[in-house]
Amino acid sequence: MKIKKILSPVDFSVNSLNALKYAADFARSSGATLFVLHVSDPDSLINDLKGNLSPEHMLDLLKKEPFLQGVKFNTILKKGNISNLILEESRRNDIDLVVMGTQGAGNMIRTLVGTNTTKVVEKSECAVLAVPLEATYSSIKKVVLAVDLEHRSDHLIEDLVNTVKIQQSAVLLVYVGVDKEGHFERDLEKLTDEMKSRTAYSKILCKVIHSDNFPGDLEGYALDIEADILVMITHHRGVFEAIFDPSETQLYAYHTTIPLMVIPMHKKPVFFL
């Protein structure tokens, strides 16, 4: 699925500008239009950080940044609740992908999933890419896709593979769970063979991580193999909470360095080539 429109919210914090660089590189390589959204939030610490500069002035300065050269982009300035306006502008502009940082100036304690990122991921009708501060964009060569064998999304997996195979990216289907009798191993191998046949693509591998520590061990595996992006398909609230509840995933939330793309089950995946 070729993307046409990307939305990236900025509050001028280091993390949001890093995410914007990611979005700009993606937009440049795909030819998509980038929408840069700034929301004036009276509760955000950025109001103190920017001093006497108006949001309009900050956005004008942003237009001169070298990393935005050659990118088709529009700026949007709004006042109100950040997460609500991200969702509203996504629907209004028919956005294919939201790219946002995992930590903003308005909440210096939570990371992945500070309140705004959590709400956007949970309620977004399109894919959301959460970019950690330490992440740097590079061509996508290794994709780790978390698979839920109890709620399979074969059409989404197939669509994803058909997209990334153009760039010859390796796709690793990973299941995390305790598999005492080997059922998950066999089911995942069968799914992998089916995907190879349906997509006519051989660079699909599979891995069962024998653990009940999800998503911590999933991230550890992605780091070990130096994956470029981690993809998860959300099915229901229970899966969402397991991934994003900061009270349950503090280690993952505070230390992840891999961009995480979350795709609603009812949507087609979005990828950058």
Residues in contact with 107: Cβ distance below 8 Å, sequence separation at least 6, in sequence order? 114, 115, 116
End of a domain among 72, 105, 131?
A: 131
Q: Are residues 103 and 170 in the same domain?
A: no
Strands (E), 150-259: 170-177, 204-210, 229-234
10-65: pLDDT as tens digits: 988 888 888 999 899 888 877 899 999 998 765 555 554 555 567 777 777 788 88
Q: Are residues 156 and 246 in the same domain?
A: yes
Give the domain range for residue 9: 5-131
Conformational region of residue 21, where left means phi above 0, alpha means psi within -120 to 50, and beta covers everything else: alpha
Is 187 inside a domain boundary? Answer: yes
Q: Are residues 126 and 149 in the same domain?
A: no
pTM, rounded to two decimals? 0.80
221-238: pLDDT as tens digits: 998 999 999 988 876 444
Q: Are residues 122 and 152 in the same domain?
A: no
Q: Are residues 163 and 124 in the same domain?
A: no
